[in-house]
Structure formats: C-alpha cells, structure tokens
C-alpha cells in the first residue's frame, strides 16, 4: 500500500479484533469518566425530547437509567434498532466465503494476497494474509451449489485448506484455529440519528468484508460523534452540531459501499460480463499498468467529508493546484526534530497559517479572534524563512510542508478537532474562516 513519506502511521495495521477490544478496554479502564458494567443488557429504551430512559437487566437486578444521549453500538442485530422500529436497507451479494484461521510457520509475504481460480480452489477466489501470533487467515469462495452444511464440516475445511496451502508451497503441519462462513452485504440505516439516540458501528451499517471497513468505520463513527458530543456536553457547542453526524458518517458508509461493491464483484463476479471484465483486467495487468487499479480494494483512504454541512466553503478548493480538498483528513509532515506537524494540533479547532517570516497584523488579529471563539483553539504558523517569532513557528526551509498543502505565503487551513480540513483559503478570508469555525462549534447554522 502506498505510504506518503510524512505520515506518522503505516497505511494499514493488521490486528485481530480481540487485540483491538483489549486496547479499547484498557483505555476505558484507565478513564475516570467511564463506568464499565459487565453482564448488563439494555432491555428497553424510551427516547424523549430532553433525554432517553433505558432499562438495564443485570445479575444484580434491573434498573432504570436516564441519559442525555445514547450511542447504540449494539452490533449488527442491534436490539435498540429493533426496539425503535428501524430497519437496515440495502443489498445482499452472491457468493459465500469460508473463513479459516490457521496457525503455521511460513515466510509467505505478510500482505493480503488474492488468488483467482487457483488449483487449490478451482473456480473460486482465495485470500491469504498473515496476522500476529503466526495466525494466517485463509478465505475461500464456496462453489456454486455447494452445501453450507457440508462446507462447514471440519474434515472438508481441512482438505480444502491443505490444497490451498500446497499452492503457496506449504506442506509442513498447521493447526486449524477457527472458522466461519459469510457473504457480502451492503446495508445501512437511512439516518444514523434518531433524536437523542445515535447509531454507531454495525448497528448503523453492515459493509462487505472485502473492504476491511466494518470495525474501522465503527471506530470512525465513534470518533466523529465523540468530539461533537464532548463539545455539546461541555456547553461549548450548540446541539445542532450533532446534525452533521449522520450525513458525514452515512456518506462514509455509502462511499465504502461503492468501493466494496467493486471489490466484491471483482472477487465474486455475479454475471458473465463481470467475469469477462475481471479476466481481462487480470490478464492485461500482467503486462500493462492501466488495468491494475481495477483490482485495488481502495481501502487505505479516510473518507472526505466534502458534502458535510461543516465544510461550507469547499468551493475554495478550486483556488488550489493540489493538496487535499476540504473535508479530507489533513496530511501529516515529519518535522526537523523528528516530531510530526499534527502532533502540535489541539483538541479544538487548529489553524495552519503559511507565512514567509511573521504573520501580518491582520493574520495575528484573525488568530486572536479564533482563540476567542474556541478556548481550545491552537494556531500553527509555518514559515518558509527563519522566523523571529518566539520559537513557536514551524520552519519549513526545504518547502516540504508548503508543497504538501499546495500552499503559498498567506494560505490558511482550518482543521476540526478530528483533524479533517474544515476549509482552506489561498489567502485568508476572515469572515469565511470565522463562520466556518462557528459552524464547526455549532454556534452558527451552515
């Protein structure tokens, strides 16, 4: 996967979900703000205009809990969704896959590799990738008409995995750890918000497995609603900020659907036409560059919130000859001291102002005004020359940051708390910048 040179994190980390859950639990346990209640089941929910009442059943008895807001993160079969009479809508795809986790010692490349019609699974597709602890995940497509019951029998799984491993030259012993069967779905709610109840993760959307976006998208939902709710609950933003959650995150789901549908059809062509197109793309890819992108699962880019109510001046993008558009996750840059540009951003709004040496009086006044609107505001000043400003400016003497942001002296970027670009201006337009900041803080309507 491509990795821009200034990015702090690798484009993909492949970790089993139990590790993610453990890290999340460790973070919850370390926080005084979160009360973790095991063996507690939400058994009913009653939303009102000013709050939500829920009933909890637990081994220690049932009780009522009154909440300002509820995040329904209760999974694909979401009881909260059913209790509120809401339904997921969308499509189910053809093609069933067996997924088998095995333990083996092998020096096969760690990256995820796809095999189309290999001898170990004639007429089907196979995916192989390595996970931590010497666990390898083998996904193989079941043949048309193959019985699920037969396919799920352990001896059949062992025989098929043995044949697939022979294709990659593994004849040594291996252990079968876990298996399951799945098919691809693109299903989501029409609206991820229902009054004071917000649906996040699989409760809101079910995406095909080929895009590896299920849990990833759930975490992005949580982050999105998290910073907005924090501002509202701290009284720093008006409730209307929460209106942007559903369009932003449902937009991200629809984008995943579009990409994952392409991948799903490539993995499991539903018609003769799709099969022919895949064969053409694969055979031409051996000698030509142009068809290779067709097999790209497009799973390494965060979603761009360009249609969001929080990016009211996305039209300003046309002033730029490059860089990332409004709504994108801001690019990162490695600084001379080994730290990263975005390490310096705050947890409120952040401005990145590009100057030759010092901000002008007008620019300084604009930064001060932003500081008055948002008490968490952090200004970052990037200078192309040595600055005399007391050590706070970031020197960009080789011009790397300027070129990453397609900036010139006077260019202004405004970042949201989640480090997505709220807007960018080739030359600062104070009214638009202040309005964007107020919209992101929920104090002004888009």
Ligand X SMILES: Cc1cc2nc3c(=O)[nH]c(=O)nc-3n(C[C@H](O)[C@H](O)[C@H](O)COP(=O)(O)OP(=O)(O)OC[C@H]3O[C@@H](n4cnc5c(N)ncnc54)[C@H](O)[C@@H]3O)c2cc1C
* Contact (CB, 8 A) for 93 and 209: no
- Exposure string over 197-236, b if 16+ CB within 10 A, otherwise e: bbbbbbbbbbbbbbbbbbebbbebbbebbbbbbebbeeeb
Regarding 418 and contact with ligand X (CB under 6 A), the answer is no
If DSSP codes are grouped into helix, strand and coil, which group holds residue 341? helix
Segment 330-359, which members bind ligand X (CB under 6 A)?
A: none
Q: 85 is written with which tokens?
A: 């009479």
325 contact partners, CB below 8 Å, separation of at least 6? 304, 306, 314, 317, 421
Least separation in angstroms between residue 129's CB and ligand X is 9
Regarding 182 and contact with ligand X (CB under 6 A), the answer is yes
Q: Give the span between the Cα atoms of 195 and 115, in whole angstroms.
A: 46
Regarding 215 and contact with ligand X (CB under 6 A), the answer is yes
Q: 178 is written with which tokens?
A: 């876990």
What mask of x and - would describe binding to ligand X in positions 156 to 175, judged by CB under 6 A? Answer: --------------------
Size of the site for ligand X (CB under 6 A): 21
If DSSP codes are grouped into helix, strand and coil, which group holds residue 55? strand
Least separation in angstroms between residue 153's CB and ligand X is 19
Q: Among the candidate windows 4-12, 153-161, 201-209, 257-265, which touches ligand X by CB under 6 A?
A: 201-209
- Of the candidates 164, 161, 196, the residue with the CA atom closest to the CA atom of residue 177: 161
If DSSP codes are grouped into helix, strand and coil, which group holds residue 198? strand
Q: Give the span between the Cα atoms of 19 and 445, in whole angstroms.
A: 41
Closer by beta carbon to ligand X, 201 or else 423 = 201
361 contact partners, CB below 8 Å, separation of at least 6? none
Looking at 45, 212, 242, 355, which residue binds ligand X (CB under 6 A)? Answer: 212
Regarding 17 and contact with ligand X (CB under 6 A), the answer is yes
Q: Among the candidate windows 149-157, 199-207, 247-255, 263-271, which touches ligand X by CB under 6 A?
A: 199-207
Least separation in angstroms between residue 215's CB and ligand X is 3
Least separation in angstroms between residue 203's CB and ligand X is 6
Regarding 18 and contact with ligand X (CB under 6 A), the answer is no
> Which single residue brings its beta carbon nearest to ligand X?
201
Looking at 214, 323, 327, 423, which residue binds ligand X (CB under 6 A)? Answer: 214
Residues 319, 403, 433, CA angle at the centre, nearest 5°?
45
Looking at 100, 209, 415, 428, which residue binds ligand X (CB under 6 A)? Answer: 209
Least separation in angstroms between residue 78's CB and ligand X is 7
Least separation in angstroms between residue 202's CB and ligand X is 4
* Contact (CB, 8 A) for 138 and 128: yes
What mask of x and - would describe binding to ligand X in positions 76 to 115, judged by CB under 6 A? Answer: x--x-------------------x----------------
Looking at 180, 296, 360, 403, which residue binds ligand X (CB under 6 A)? Answer: 180
Q: Give the span between the Cα atoms of 253 and 228, in whole angstroms.
A: 19
Looking at 15, 31, 41, 365, which residue binds ligand X (CB under 6 A)? Answer: 41
Looking at 194, 202, 224, 414, which residue binds ligand X (CB under 6 A)? Answer: 202
Least separation in angstroms between residue 130's CB and ligand X is 13
Rounded (10°) angle between helices 245-267 and 272-285: 80
Least separation in angstroms between residue 337's CB and ligand X is 34
Regarding 371 and contact with ligand X (CB under 6 A), the answer is no
Closer by beta carbon to ligand X, 214 or else 323 = 214
CA dihedral 351, 354, 355, 361 (to 10 degrees): -30
Closer by beta carbon to ligand X, 25 or else 182 = 182
Q: 417 is written with which tokens?
A: 């708390």
Looking at 118, 124, 201, 297, which residue binds ligand X (CB under 6 A)? Answer: 201
Q: Give the span between the Cα atoms of 436 and 424, in whole angstroms.
A: 10
What mask of x and - would describe binding to ligand X in positions 54 to 83, judged by CB under 6 A? Answer: -------------------xxxx--x----
Least separation in angstroms between residue 29's CB and ligand X is 16
79 contact partners, CB below 8 Å, separation of at least 6? 42
Strands 350-355 and 378-383: parallel
Closer by beta carbon to ligand X, 42 or else 284 = 42
What are the residues binding ligand X (CB under 6 A)?
Answer: 17, 41-42, 73-76, 79, 99, 180, 182, 201-203, 209, 212-216, 218
């Amino acid at each position: 996967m491509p990795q821009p040179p200034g990015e702090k994190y690798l484009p993909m980390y492949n970790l089993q979900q139990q590790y993610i859950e453990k890290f999340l639990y460790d973070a919850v346990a370390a926080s005084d703000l979160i009360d973790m209640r095991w063996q507690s089941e939400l058994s009913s929910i009653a939303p009102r205009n000013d709050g939500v009442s829920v009933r909890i059943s637990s081994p220690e008895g049932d009780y009522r809990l009154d909440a300002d807001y509820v995040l329904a993160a209760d999974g694909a079969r979401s009881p909260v969704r059913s209790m509120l009479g809401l339904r997921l809508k969308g499509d189910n795809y053809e093609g069933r896959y067996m997924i088998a986790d095995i333990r083996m010692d092998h020096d096969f490349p760690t990256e995820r590799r796809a095999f189309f019609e290999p001898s170990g699974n004639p007429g089907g597709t196979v995916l192989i990738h390595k996970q931590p602890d010497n666990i390898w995940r083998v996904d193989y497509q079941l043949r048309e008409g193959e019985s699920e019951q037969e396919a799920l029998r352990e001896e059949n799984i062992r025989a098929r995995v043995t044949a697939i491993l022979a294709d990659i030259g593994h004849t040594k012993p291996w252990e079968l750890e876990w298996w399951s069967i799945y098919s691809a779905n693109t299903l989501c709610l029409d609206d991820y918000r229902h009054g004071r109840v917000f649906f996040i993760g699989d409760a809101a959307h079910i995406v095909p497995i080929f895009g590896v976006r299920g849990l990833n998208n759930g975490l992005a939902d949580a982050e999105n609603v998290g910073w907005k709710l924090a501002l509202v609950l701290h009284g720093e933003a008006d409730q209307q900020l929460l209106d942007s959650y559903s369009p932003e995150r449902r937009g991200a789901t629809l984008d995943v659907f579009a990409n994952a549908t392409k991948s799903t059809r490539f993995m499991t062509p539903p018609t003769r036409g799709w099969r022919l197109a895949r064969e053409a793309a694969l055979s031409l890819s051996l000698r030509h560059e142009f068809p290779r992108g067709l097999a790209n699962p497009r799973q390494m880019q965060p979603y761009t919130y360009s249609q969001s109510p929080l990016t009211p001046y996305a039209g300003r993008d046309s002033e730029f000859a490059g860089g990332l558009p409004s709504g994108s996750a801001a690019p990162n840059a490695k600084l001379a001291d080994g730290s990263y540009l975005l390490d310096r951003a705050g947890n409120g709004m952040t401005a990145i102002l590009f100057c030759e040496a010092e901000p002008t009086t007008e620019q300084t006044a604009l930064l001060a005004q932003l500081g008055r609107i948002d008490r968490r505001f952090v200004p970052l000043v990037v200078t192309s020359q040595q600055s005399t400003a007391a050590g706070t400016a970031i020197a960009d003497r080789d011009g790397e940051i300027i070129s990453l942001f397609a900036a010139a002296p006077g260019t202004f970027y405004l970042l949201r708390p989640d480090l997505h670009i709220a807007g960018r201006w080739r030359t600062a337009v104070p009214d638009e910048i202040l309005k964007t900041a107020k919209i992101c803080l929920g104090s002004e309507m888009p």
